[in-house]
Structure 1
């Protein structure tokens, strides 16, 4: 956890030089983002930097909505998609602290319908498939690290993904039905033998509901959002806040920005029955910074303890063997490799020099489908939030770009 520990770490404003950051360095980070706005790659962006528990930089650039020319603002709401995943990991760690689950538990102990899953063998020409017995039941540790054997199935990319789509998993009414539909299908591979980006975090949401007796939105609101003061983070956008939500855009191969409806799930006005722990949250830069600061401070913010220091350390520690890092598994801009491992629901830098990115050792990060990104760097006691509104197969790698530029902004 952070080496530097001033008395107040509640994200109050400070000047960059007060916390060892260069104004010129911060300006260079934003200039790289602004250039993408100027050339039409992005509609707008919002960046936030905090160090030693103090917010030193918030910059809203470009437009929240191009048609109306409404500018981006510090309180703009964004669909953060997979940046939901680290929040779900922390929700799981709260229950871990309470002794509700253990790393080596079989998933079926908590989701009995998934207790006896087979593993797919061969896909046959008629669309059927063969199966084989699982070498072992997938475990909770594997569920937390995308190694349990599940796929994702959001797009019909592979024959296995098409099985998920045929079962209409993503059209389930709630997480109970989600699990029931998934139980009719085999695993994509033998548990623990590979890393594959998957719906594991959505299953974590189902486990949170089973173990807590609350809906996932209620659990997160009560145990994370309310104590952290995250007033604008939820699985829905109430009517009175919808005017603050950034317009979502799509582009392909540097084409024009086209406004689109949410392609992954409906935008809800009230808490949804099917709340997805892998992709469902709406948030702001300020709210997510409070979550990130809690991670930096070992599970606590401003006197409110969310999870134990030990649980958060477990979340932000690499859990993959070197053989998986050598395999170079990829999910979007994230390419696992030596020095660049995976904790619970997020990347962990074990050797930044080997990974080729100048962050501190132990940096934990993830991103989202609409281009949002964040990281927390315990060694440098720093957090960064970047929010945009672009869904694109050719989106710029802003996380790596800003991490590289931020290294020059740290002067002491």
Structure 2
């Protein structure tokens, strides 16, 4: 069945200012003019209706190809909220609870150890966990896992242990989990926050629970029902021309083409699809996914997850002690007024966090400059996509949130509803 397209209306129809949205476009264009990014695509929707779509700059500088609204982007960590939704499909079926130990579903994690320091000979000191890490820990980056890619800090003993164990040198999620289970946790479960491959563990859990490849499960239970025609872990040769070029922006250097440094771009379905990164999508597809979340689990009459599941996904699950401590991951923050939900952050108190969004705003971003948020208090969603890895990436999500708030000014705005 063909997907029902989201209606397109003028901004004023849904309480936004055309002039305010034009100011947002101008701010993005200024980054393009300065050579910070090559191009960008953005979609804004409110009350279930798209009120702004724009493609600015270039998809590819060398060929002078202009950006287009249906360009394909590597969304990197914006894969994570999609994985949360997929997990919640199974939560609705009673397959797991947040308090389940990870090892209940993936027994290879039954004998995890925790890193406590280095011995004089450089070997790792370890101790047993004080409690088993749970799925809640997995969803909130508090289980004690790390990332440990070749881009991670080589001086970190745990990240170095990931490399030594070849965690990333695997062709399947099953083998990846077997190697990961032999590496100590970075800290006692629940006592700290560390960005991690916990969502990749979730992908492995989906495979174990369903007997399906993770990518196949996403297609059957999320992408196809929502009509996400351009979202997947591969870009077929016939669609390569739509894939935005990936650039590196180093300080004091112009944009330079770079091959994907995290994994090879796939032209066919990979044998190992990751829950934490790897999806390719369009702004329109991701807006449909975001609209499903904003619609409390359904879009155009098609239900993906229950209202209870979306409520679980988009509320804070961190204890006050960790929020008060504060953590930073790129442009994302955890601290007063900002907690962590399932595979994404959530604004619990906009005034305390000093952010121009409504209470309950759920958001995340991707390494190459993709970003999104849903603001239930204002019934609003925004998706933005660029394709630039940068040491000094502009805070596009924060900038556009401020400009969207200005475009909503005096138009039934709710910051704390």
Q: TM-score when scaled to structure 1? A: 0.97
Matched, 1:33 2:33: no
Superposed, which structure 2 residues align to 1:25-104 within 5 Å? 25-104=20-99
Larger deviation, residues 61-70 vs 112-121: 112-121
What's the offset of the Cα at 1:254?
Answer: 4.2
Tell me, in whole angstroms, the C-alpha distance in 2 between the residues paired with 1:337 and 1:392.
Answer: 24
CA contact (8 A) 2:314 2:341 kept: yes
CA contact (8 A) 2:80 2:276 kept: yes
SS, match of residue 171 in structure 1:
coil
| Structure 1 match to 2:389 | 391
CA contact (8 A) 2:251 2:392 kept: yes
Tell me, in whole angstroms, the C-alpha distance in 2 between the residues paired with 1:218 and 1:269.
Answer: 16
Tell me, in whole angstroms, the C-alpha distance in 1 between the residues paired with 2:334 and 2:152.
Answer: 23
What's the offset of the Cα at 1:29?
Answer: 1.1
CA contact (8 A) 1:201 1:277 kept: yes
Equivalent of 1:170 in 153, 168, 171 = 168
Matched residue pairs, number? 404
Question: CA offsets per residue over residues 68-116 of structure 1, 9 Å max, x none?
Answer: 0000001000000000000000000010010111111100011100111
Tell me, in whole angstroms, the C-alpha distance in 1 between the residues paired with 2:302 and 2:190.
Answer: 36
Tell me, in whole angstroms, the C-alpha distance in 2 between the residues paired with 1:125 and 1:63.
Answer: 54
Gaps of 5+ in 2: 413-417
CA contact (8 A) 1:10 1:301 kept: no
Equivalent of 2:343 in 345, 351, 361 = 345
| Structure 2 match to 1:209 | 207
Cα 1:156–1:367 change in 2 (3 A) is: closer
CA contact (8 A) 2:158 2:183 kept: no
Matched, 1:251 2:246: no
| Structure 2 match to 1:142 | 137
Superposed, which structure 2 residues align to 1:13-412 within 5 Å? 13-154=8-149, 155-157=151-153, 158-410=156-408, 411-412=411-412
Runs of 4+ in structure 1 over 3 Å off:
none
Question: CA offsets per residue over residues 259-289 of structure 1, 9 Å max, x none?
Answer: 0111101111111111111001000000000
Gaps of 5+ in 1: 1-8
| Structure 2 match to 1:4 | none
Tell me, in whole angstroms, the C-alpha distance in 1 between the residues paired with 2:115 and 2:80.
Answer: 26
Larger deviation, residues 309-318 vs 115-124: 115-124
CA contact (8 A) 2:75 2:279 kept: yes
SS, match of residue 126 in structure 2:
strand
CA contact (8 A) 2:158 2:184 kept: no
Tell me, in whole angstroms, the C-alpha distance in 1 between the residues paired with 2:354 and 2:219.
Answer: 37
Question: CA offsets per residue over residues 266-321 of structure 1, 9 Å max, x none?
Answer: 11111111111100100000000000000001110111110000001100000111
Tell me, in whole angstroms, the C-alpha distance in 1 between the residues paired with 2:12 and 2:344.
Answer: 30
What's the offset of the Cα at 1:10?
Answer: 5.4
CA RMSD for the aligned pairs? 1.0
Question: CA offsets per residue over residues 38-97 of structure 1, 9 Å max, x none?
Answer: 111110001110000000100000000000000000100000000000000000001001
| Structure 2 match to 1:6 | none
Tell me, in whole angstroms, the C-alpha distance in 1 between the residues paired with 2:175 and 2:230.
Answer: 28
SS, match of residue 68 in structure 2:
coil
What's the offset of the Cα at 1:124?
Answer: 2.8
Q: TM-score when scaled to structure 2? A: 0.95
Tell me, in whole angstroms, the C-alpha distance in 1 between the residues paired with 2:391 and 2:77.
Answer: 16
CA contact (8 A) 2:114 2:185 kept: yes
CA contact (8 A) 1:293 1:301 kept: yes
SS, match of residue 13 in structure 1:
coil
Tell me, in whole angstroms, the C-alpha distance in 1 between the residues paired with 2:207 and 2:121.
Answer: 38
SS, match of residue 378 in structure 2:
coil
What's the offset of the Cα at 1:368?
Answer: 0.2
Larger deviation, residues 122-131 vs 196-205: 122-131
Tell me, in whole angstroms, the C-alpha distance in 1 between the residues paired with 2:132 and 2:220.
Answer: 32
